Structure 1
C-alpha cells in the first residue's frame, strides 16, 4: 500500500475512538531505532499499551501481545532476524530487541500470528493481526542504521509501476499501399498464425487491402500537409499564393491579350459591333469571314487551337447611360488613303501627330484609326507592304473636312494623341523602282477607320455550353470552395475606354496606347455569380483580385479566385470582415470567360473570323487585326514566386528623399529621364519632379495628371507634388568644313546636313541632333560631332567656330569641348528655320570643286 494510503488509514484509526461510525482499533504509528543499541527497536503505537509484554500484556483497548506475535522479516544480506524480547517502554511504546543488527536494506516489523503452520526456516505469510489491531497498521518498514547519510528523504515514495508491454514489431516507415498490406499481413500472422490465406478473393485479405487503401490515402494527405506547410516545399499553386500573401506579395495569374480589329464594311453599322461579339483566328474548314453559331464550327475551332476574342464596349454615350453604347461604324471609313498633296515622294516623319486623308469622312473625337502601309513603296504590291509600319492612333478632335484648292480633292484633316505619335516614318507617296516601271505611287499608306478593340477569351454559353453554370449549394458544415467546370478562366484588365468620352474638348482623353498599359494589380477574373437560395443572398456577386484589397468590407458580395496548376479555378469567399461570408442554404450560378495567357498574343492578320449574327452584321465583308495582339501574359511560375516573394517586402513604398522620387518616376511608362528636388515654398515643402519623356515628347496635361496620381501613392504627408517638363535649352553651333580636291563641295555639304539633322539619317538611324541623342542632365560633347564629319570621304578638315547655349553665348563650350546642362535642363538643336528658337546649326563648306 502506498504511503499516502497508510497516512489516510492512520488518521482514521486516530478518530476511531471518537467517531461513532468507526470501530476502535489500535495500530503502529511509526518505528524508531535506539541510538544506544541498534538492535533495540522502539515501536510507537497510536494508542497506549497498559501491561508488560513478557509475560503477555494487553493493549489499552483490550488486545493482548506477546513476543511470539512480533516478527522481523526482510533484508538482503542478513536475514532470519529473530525477536529476543518485547517489553513495554514509555507511553504507547513497545521496545523490541532483535537477535542481531541487520544490513543496510529495508526490514519489516509485523504483529500477528501465522495463519497456517510454518514450514521450517520460512517467514510467516500471511499473518493474522492481533485482536483490536488494524490489519493495515500491523506492520511497518524500518532500517537498522539510522545514522548513515542519505542523499534524499528517508521517506520512500511508493508508486504503482505500470505493466511493461512489449510493443509489436511494426514497420513505421511503411508509407504506401503495398507496404501497408505487408505490415498488416505480418501482424495477422503473429496474432492469428493459423490464418494463412492470401487469395485476393478472401474476405480477410479484402479487409486488409481496404484498410491499406485508406491508410495510403491518409499517409498521402499527411505528406501533402507537411509539404504544403512551407513555401520552400509547397507544390500546389494555392498554397504558394497564400504563403506569399503573408508577406504582401500577390501571385500573378497572368493576363489575357487584346487586339485591334479593322473591319471592311459593305454597309453602315449605326449600332456598331455589340460588346461581346465573338471573333477568332482562322482554322481549317472555317467559312470566311463568318463564325457561325453552331456546335460543329466551335468544336472544330477548339480542336484546331483557334484563339477566341470578344469585342469590348467602346464607350458610354453620356454619364447617365447605364449600358455601353457602341460607336457607329460607317462603311465609307473602312479604308481611307492618306493624302500626299501632289508630292511624288512624301513621308510622315517620326513624331507626327496629324495627317490629311484623301476624301470626306465623318470622324469624331475619340475614334480609333490604324495607320498602315498598304503597298510596298518600291513595288506598289500590297504583299510588299511592311507590317511593321502600322500603328493605332486616337483622335483628339473631330475630323475637319476641306478641299484642296489646287486639285479640288476633298480632304479630311485629323489630329491624334501625342502619346500615339508615329514611332517610324510612314510613306505617303513614292516612285517605284525601275523593275516596276518607276510608276508613281500616290496612296502608299491608308488609315483604317472601322476599328474596334477585342479582348481575348470566350464567354461560355451556347452552342457548346449551357450557362449559367450551377454550383453546389453551401453545405451546413465544412469549407465552401466550389470549382468552375472549365479551366483557364480569363484574367482581364478593365476596359480603358468605357466611360472615356469627356463632355468637351478641353478635357484630356486617353490615347490608343493606353489600351496596352495595365499591371497585374489592375486585373480581375472575368467571373460573375448570381446568388439565390436564402433571403440574405445578394443577387449579384463580383470577382476581385484580392479580398484583402482596399474598400472590401464585410458586406461586400465579393469573392476571389484561386487557380491551381492544372488550370482549375476555385472560388474563395469572404469571412464577414473582408467580403461577405456565405451561409448555409445559399446557391450560386456562374458566368465566366475562358482564354488567357501569352497564347493570345497572335500575330498580325491572324484574326479573320467574326460572329455576324447581330443587326447589320451581314455588312461585314472582312475582318483582320493589322497589329499583333498584345498584353497576353502567362501566370507567374511557382518557382519565380518562391524566389521573389521573400524579398519583395523590402521594396520601399514611401518616397522620402529626392532620389526616391526619381526612382519611382523612372518606373512610370513613357519616362526617359527624371530629376527631383525638394523646395520650401513658404507654407510647406513641394517636391518638383522634372521629366523627360521618351522620344522627346512634351509633358502634356494628361501625362502630368497620370504621373502625379502615380506618385501620390508614395508621397509623404505634408509634401506637395508638382510635375513639370524638362527645361528646354536651345544650342547654337557653327562648323566649317574644308573639302579635299576632287570632291564636290555641294554634294559633301548635303551629306553633312543629312548627318547633322534632328530627324533620321538616310540609313534610318537618328541624326546627331535627334531628340533621342539628348538626355536631361547629360552633357553634350563636341568630339563625336567632329568625328562624324571627318569620317566622310572628301573632308580635309573640320573646324567648329561656335558651340554654345543660344540664350547664354560664351566660349566655354568651345574651349572645353563639352556643354554641361543643369539637372533639369534638356538640350535641343532642331535646326528648323520655322523654329529658330529651338537651336541652329550653321555649316560652311569650301574647297573641292
Structure 2
C-alpha cells in the first residue's frame, strides 16, 4: 500500500523514492513515468488509424521489461465514477516496446495480437531515439475522464506487486486529458504554517479589593498628575486602600441583601443548588482537568504503573529532600495530577519514528488519519486498537521533542497496526526496521500539518516526528492522608451536618469516552462527583449529586460547597438515603484539585511523586506534551438563576416539525436540520433533512445518532424519516481585472483557491459546503467581497450575458434576473454548491475571465 496522498489528489512526491531505488544494491525496478500518447488529429506527428489517448508508454527504472508482465497483471484503477459500466478503462494488450516498434539492430515482433502497423508507427515516433528496452506499451479499451487514474503492476496471480519491483513504485497516478498548457503549477505543496498565537484572557468582572485599589490608584493619578508616591505609608494611599476595603465590603453586602427563600434572590451556594435541583437543573461545582502523560521507561526494563500515580509540576524545592509526596508538592505550590488507570510501560514504546518512505521532506497534511511507524526489528511495541499515541515533532537530533506545541496531537488507534514491507527502512541505530501502518478516527484527524522528515546534510531523509506510545490519561487531583470531620462523631437527637477540614475538594467526571483521544479529554462537569470517601468502620460512604433517588439503605451523602470552597456534608434522613447512627465516628479520604488551575500548559508535569505505599519508580521520565483541558470553575450563581427556570420547560418529546429539527440540531456533527410533516398514505411522517458538517461527511454515525434520538422522542403513530438535502449546482463565471505588475496565472491560481470548495490551511474556500446551509442564498456582494481579497484584483464584473460569456445563475437553467436581484435565492430545503470539479461538472462550477495584468 502506498503512503497517504496529499489533498491535491496527485499522490506523494516519489522522486526521492525513485532516487533511493535506483541507487539500491541489489537493484530493484519500478515505474518511472507513465506517458499518454494523445495522437489528436491536426497535430504534428498524427498517425492515421491509431486511437487517441488509449496508448500508454510505461517507462521503468531499469530494463528490460519482464517477459511475464502481460495483460493479466496490469490494471488501470481509479476515476471518480465508482460504477465501471459508466467509465470502463481496461487493458486490451500490453507488450514491450522492443516487440512493438523494434530498436537499434532489432526488428519488431510480428504477429502480436491486437497490434497494427499504425500502432507500431505511433510508438516508434513517440520514442524516437530513446532507450526502448525499459518501456512497456499498454493499450486501454477507452480513454478516461479528467480524474486521476492509477496504473498498477501486479504480481503473479494478479495480487501484490511484481517480484523485483518496489512496492511504492509498482503504481503510478496519471491522467488521460491534460493536452494543453496549464498556467497552474501541478506540483504538490504542503504548507506548514506557524502555530496560531493566543490572546490573553481579561477579567472584566473583578470587583474585589485588589481591583478597586488598582482602579482608585489609576484614577487618583489622573486627577493629581504630579503625585508619584505609591508607598503604603503615604496618607493618600492609606485612604485609597480604606476606600477599596469599604467598597469590597459594600459589594459583598449588595450581593447578600436578598433572602434565600427564592432562586432569583438566593446568594448562598447551597440554597441556589437546592432550588435549581427542584427545577431538574443540576448545578456543577467545576471539574478537574485531564491531560495525556507520556512516560519514558528505562532501557531494558518494563515497569507497571499503578492507577492514581501522582505526577506534578514542581517549583524549585529545597535541597536535601528525598522522596516527594503529593502533600509536599501541594505545600510547595505545585500542581498535582494522578493517572486514571494502570499502565504497562516498555522501552519499545518510548518513541517510534514516523516513517516517510524515503521522502526527504514529507509532511502529513491537516486532516490525515493514517501514518507509518518504524521501529527496530525485533522490538515490537505491541500496539493494538484502542491505544493512544502522541504524535510530536522532534529537533534535528531526531530525539528531542521540539517546542512546536501546536503540531503535537494525541490519536487513538481504531484498528490493529498492519505490518508493511520496506527493505530500506532503518532504525535509529542504523539497523533494519519494521514498518507499521496505523490508523485513527476522523475525530482525531490532524488539526495542523505535521512534517515527518527533513533533509540531512548528506541528502537522506531524517526523522522529523515521532510517536510516543507510553501514554496514560491523568486528571487534576491529589490524594491526601485521611482526615477527621468537624465534628467527627454523630450527635444524639439532631441532624449530623459536619464540615471538612480540607478545602479545594476535586470534582471529577468518572466517565471516559473511549471513541477517540480527543473525546477522552472532554468532561461533563454536571456528571462530576466530589472526590470524598467516608469510612465509619462498618461501610464506605460515597458522594452523590442528590438524595432524591436514594433508598433508606444507600450509604450516600451530598457535598455542598460554599463560595469559600469550604464543604459541608449532608446525610439522608432514613427515607431518602441512610441516616448515620448516633455515636459513629467518620474518617474522610479526600482528593483535592480541579478548577481552571488544572489547565496547565505542555511540558510542565515532569516529576513522578511517591505515595504512602509506593515509592516513585526510578529511572522513569514523564511529561505532558499536550496542555491539560477541561478544568472548569464552579458554575456562577447568576448563570444558575437565569438557566434553571428554562431547564424545567424543556420537553423530551417531538411533536411539531420544529421540535424534530431542534432535536436533530443537538447531535454533534449536524450543522443544521429542517423538518416537514407529510402524509405517507396511511399516517403522517416527519421528514428530517440534515446538513452534516464536512468533517463528518459520509459518517453514518451522525445519522444513526439522529435517528435514534428522534425515535425516542417521536409521537406514537408518527414515523420519522431522514432525507438528503436538495443540492443546487451553480454556474458562476465572473470577469476580473488584474492590476499591472501581477501575473494573470498567479491571480487565477489564487482566485480558484480562495473560491474553491476545499478546506484550506487555516480557513475554508468560499464554496466550502460548511459555508452554506438550507435556504442560504448567494449574494453578489459576498461573492465580490471574497474575490477582492485576492492580491492583484482591481475590478470584478458580475453579470449574466450570452454576449460576454459571464454567468450568475443556476446550472442548466436560463438567466432569471439574479444579478438584478443581487442574489441567487435558495428554497428552504435547497443547498447551493459550486465544487468546480471538471470530473463532476454536475456539482456546479466557478470560473474567471481575466483581463489586464501580465
TM-score (norm 1): 0.58
Deviations 1:124-156 (A, max 9, x none): xxxxxxxxxxxxxxxxxxxxxxxxxxxxxxxxx
Equivalents in 2 of 1:372, 1:839: separation in Å?
40
Contact 1:253 1:636 in 2 (8 A): yes
Q: 1:276 aligns with which of 308, 318, 324?
A: 308
Secondary structure at 1:663 match in 2: helix
Q: CA RMSD in A?
A: 4.5
Secondary structure at 2:271 match in 1: helix
Deviations 1:162-198 (A, max 9, x none): xxxxxxxxxxxxxxxxxxxxxxxxxxxxxxxxxxxxx
Q: Name the counterpart of 1:251.
A: 283
Match status 1:421 vs 2:442: no
Q: 1:412 aligns with which of 436, 442, 450?
A: 436
Secondary structure at 1:662 match in 2: helix
Equivalents in 1 of 2:361, 2:843: separation in Å?
27
Secondary structure at 2:405 match in 1: coil
Deviations 1:731-763 (A, max 9, x none): 66667768678754444443334334344557x
Equivalents in 1 of 2:458, 2:848: separation in Å?
34
Q: Name the counterpart of 1:523.
A: 528
Q: Name the counterpart of 2:576.
A: 578
Equivalents in 1 of 2:692, 2:714: separation in Å?
21
Deviations 1:275-306 (A, max 9, x none): 21111112212899xx9755xx5454223321
Q: Name the counterpart of 2:383.
A: 363
Q: Name the counterpart of 1:809.
A: 812
Q: Name the counterpart of 2:22.
A: none
Match status 1:388 vs 2:386: no
Secondary structure at 1:243 match in 2: helix
Q: Name the counterpart of 2:544.
A: 544
Contact 1:528 1:541 in 2 (8 A): yes
Equivalents in 2 of 1:633, 1:626: separation in Å?
21
Contact 2:535 2:541 in 1 (8 A): yes
Equivalents in 1 of 2:462, 2:805: separation in Å?
42
Equivalents in 2 of 1:637, 1:292: separation in Å?
42
Equivalents in 2 of 1:702, 1:786: separation in Å?
38
Equivalents in 2 of 1:745, 1:673: separation in Å?
39
Equivalents in 2 of 1:786, 1:643: separation in Å?
42
Contact 1:292 1:611 in 2 (8 A): no
Structure 2 matches for 1:679-694, cutoff 5 A? 679=678, 686-694=685-693
Equivalents in 1 of 2:349, 2:833: separation in Å?
39
Q: 2:478 aligns with which of 452, 458, 464?
A: 458
Measured after TM superposition, the shift of residue 708 of structure 1 is 5.4
Structure 2 matches for 1:637-656, cutoff 5 A? 637-645=636-644, 649-652=648-651, 654-656=653-655
Q: 1:745 to 1:565 in 2, by over 3 A?
A: closer
Deviations 1:76-95 (A, max 9, x none): xxxxxxxxxxxxxxxxxxxx
* Equivalent residue pairs, number: 579
Structure 2 matches for 1:693-842, cutoff 5 A? 693-698=692-697, 700-707=699-706, 715-716=714-715, 719=718, 744-759=743-758, 764-781=762-779, 784-785=782-783, 788-789=786-787, 791-793=790-792, 809-812=812-815, 820=825, 823-824=828-829, 826-827=831-832, 829=834
Secondary structure at 1:453 match in 2: strand
Equivalents in 2 of 1:273, 1:636: separation in Å?
35
Q: 2:497 aligns with which of 461, 474, 481?
A: 481
Q: 1:237 to 1:340 in 2, by over 3 A?
A: same
Contact 2:425 2:435 in 1 (8 A): no
Q: 1:796 to 1:244 in 2, by over 3 A?
A: closer
Q: Name the counterpart of 1:302.
A: 330
Measured after TM superposition, the shift of residue 478 of structure 1 is 0.6
Q: 1:353 aligns with which of 347, 354, 369?
A: 369
Equivalents in 2 of 1:513, 1:575: separation in Å?
42
Structure 2 matches for 1:19-418, cutoff 5 A? 227-231=259-263, 234-267=266-299, 272-285=304-317, 293-294=323-324, 297-313=325-341, 326-359=342-375, 361-375=381-395, 385-404=403-422, 410-418=434-442
Equivalents in 2 of 1:772, 1:730: separation in Å?
15
Secondary structure at 2:392 match in 1: strand
Structure 2 matches for 1:612-623, cutoff 5 A? 618=617, 621-623=620-622
Q: 1:637 to 1:815 in 2, by over 3 A?
A: closer
Deviations 1:611-639 (A, max 9, x none): 37799974764222222211111112334
Q: Name the counterpart of 1:662.
A: 661
Equivalents in 2 of 1:813, 1:410: separation in Å?
62
Measured after TM superposition, the shift of residue 830 of structure 1 is 5.0
Equivalents in 2 of 1:390, 1:334: separation in Å?
16
Measured after TM superposition, the shift of residue 727 of structure 1 is 6.4
Equivalents in 2 of 1:821, 1:268: separation in Å?
66
Equivalents in 2 of 1:287, 1:342: separation in Å?
49
Gaps of 5+ in 1: 1-223, 314-325, 501-509, 534-538
Q: Name the counterpart of 1:446.
A: 466
Match status 1:673 vs 2:672: yes
Q: 1:797 to 1:782 in 2, by over 3 A?
A: closer
Measured after TM superposition, the shift of residue 454 of structure 1 is 0.5
Q: 1:683 to 1:406 in 2, by over 3 A?
A: farther
Q: 1:240 to 1:847 in 2, by over 3 A?
A: closer
Measured after TM superposition, the shift of residue 232 of structure 1 is 5.7
Measured after TM superposition, the shift of residue 532 of structure 1 is 4.4
Q: Name the counterpart of 2:131.
A: none
Q: 1:300 to 1:467 in 2, by over 3 A?
A: closer
Q: 1:229 to 1:740 in 2, by over 3 A?
A: closer
Q: 1:612 to 1:234 in 2, by over 3 A?
A: closer
Equivalents in 2 of 1:825, 1:298: separation in Å?
59
Contact 1:698 1:725 in 2 (8 A): no
Tell which structure's C-alpha radius of gyration is larger: 1
Deviations 1:524-564 (A, max 9, x none): 2222334545xxxxx34332212225xx4444333221112
Q: 1:466 to 1:444 in 2, by over 3 A?
A: same
Secondary structure at 1:388 match in 2: helix
Equivalents in 2 of 1:517, 1:638: separation in Å?
23
Equivalents in 2 of 1:279, 1:305: separation in Å?
14
Q: 1:563 aligns with which of 558, 561, 564?
A: 561
Contact 2:392 2:401 in 1 (8 A): no
Q: Name the counterpart of 1:490.
A: 506
Measured after TM superposition, the shift of residue 610 of structure 1 is 1.9
Deviations 1:402-447 (A, max 9, x none): 1346768743222111122223333334679xxxx99987543333
Deviations 1:703-729 (A, max 9, x none): 445555666775555555566776666
Equivalents in 2 of 1:610, 1:723: separation in Å?
52
Q: Name the counterpart of 1:197.
A: none
Which range moved further: 749-758 or 271-280? 749-758
Measured after TM superposition, the shift of residue 453 of structure 1 is 0.9
Secondary structure at 2:776 match in 1: coil
Equivalents in 2 of 1:448, 1:262: separation in Å?
7
Secondary structure at 1:266 match in 2: coil
Which range moved further: 413-422 or 613-622? 613-622
Equivalents in 1 of 2:630, 2:521: separation in Å?
6
Equivalents in 1 of 2:358, 2:842: separation in Å?
31
Measured after TM superposition, the shift of residue 255 of structure 1 is 1.2
Q: 1:608 to 1:776 in 2, by over 3 A?
A: farther
Contact 1:778 1:821 in 2 (8 A): yes
Contact 2:359 2:461 in 1 (8 A): no
TM-score (norm 2): 0.58
Secondary structure at 1:635 match in 2: coil
Q: 1:483 to 1:708 in 2, by over 3 A?
A: farther
Q: 1:487 to 1:225 in 2, by over 3 A?
A: same
Q: 1:543 to 1:626 in 2, by over 3 A?
A: same
Equivalents in 1 of 2:425, 2:730: separation in Å?
41
Contact 1:739 1:797 in 2 (8 A): no
Measured after TM superposition, the shift of residue 262 of structure 1 is 1.8
